[in-house]
Amino acid sequence: MLVDEIEKFSALSEPDIRGVIIALENVVQKKLAEGKIVRFEQLGTLYPSLSSDPSDTEDGVTSANIKNVRVNYRPGKRIIDAMRNVTKKRV
């Protein structure tokens, strides 16, 4: 479990870590719902995107045009470097 792993690297207790993760989830949800980019220093970036049907006029653009809403992730440099340096083996 993620909480157990974090606890090994932290002076925080399990309930404190759980509280921080829940707060982080809430903040991320709020910011993405507002259409904002969420930047984690070394971890990377989360950002919302959507796809929609086209419209010939500006007035024709409504929420009904939206087909799909997604959350995209762009990893930070440390994550990219870690993935490059993993030991690769056949399983």
Return the residue matching tokens 């994550």.
Answer: 79
Could you report the per-residue pLDDT of 13-54, keeping only the tens digit for each? Answer: 999 999 999 999 999 999 999 999 999 989 999 999 999 999
Q: What is the pTM of this model?
A: 0.77
Measure the CA–CA gap between 79 and 58, rounded to whole angstroms.
Answer: 41
SS (H, E, C) 27-86: HHHHHHHCCCCEEECCCEEEEEEEEECCCCCHHHCCHHHEEEEEEEEEECHHHHHHHHCC
User: What is the reported pLDDT for 91?
Assistant: 84
Beta bridge pairs of residue 74: 45
Length of the chain: 91
